[in-house]
Amino acid sequence: MTRKATVALVVLAVGMSVSGLRAAAGEGGAAPAPAAKVQTTCPVMGGKIDKRQYVDVKGKRIYVCCAGCKEAIRKDPDAALRKLEAAGVVVEAAPVPKKGE
């Protein structure tokens, strides 16, 4: 996991914790948000992801189970993102290329 992705997950977790504490204390009137989940299943086939197989789309990195699922993600990245987000998965940010790469 990249440093930026790690920092983003920590910031998200802290924000969710603070939000949950406020809700528990009666502030804001909202129930605590569910814990963020990391991606473990392929949004195309539903199998276990292979961290070596992924597609970077719309600034996000979507992991898949096999090379064959990459084309489905490229054809409709929004469907894959919606499916992951509906499952409570926080989709990892794609690494930003360094200048000159």
Amino acid present at 41: T
Sequential DSSP letters for the chain = --HHHHHHHHHHHHHHHHHHHHHHTTSTT-PPPPPPB---B-TTT-SB--TT-EEEETTEEEE-SSGGGHHHHHH-HHHHHHHHHHTTB-PPBPPPPPTT-
CA distance 33 to 46: 25
Query: Per residue in 45-96, pLDDT tens?
Result: 999 999 999 999 999 999 999 999 999 999 999 999 999 999 999 999 999 8
Query: Per residue in 8-55, pLDDT tens?
Result: 554 455 455 545 544 555 555 565 666 679 999 999 999 999 999 999
What pLDDT shows up at residue 36?
77
CA distance 44 to 68: 10
What pLDDT shows up at residue 73?
96
Alpha carbon distance, N-terminus to C-terminus of the chain:
19
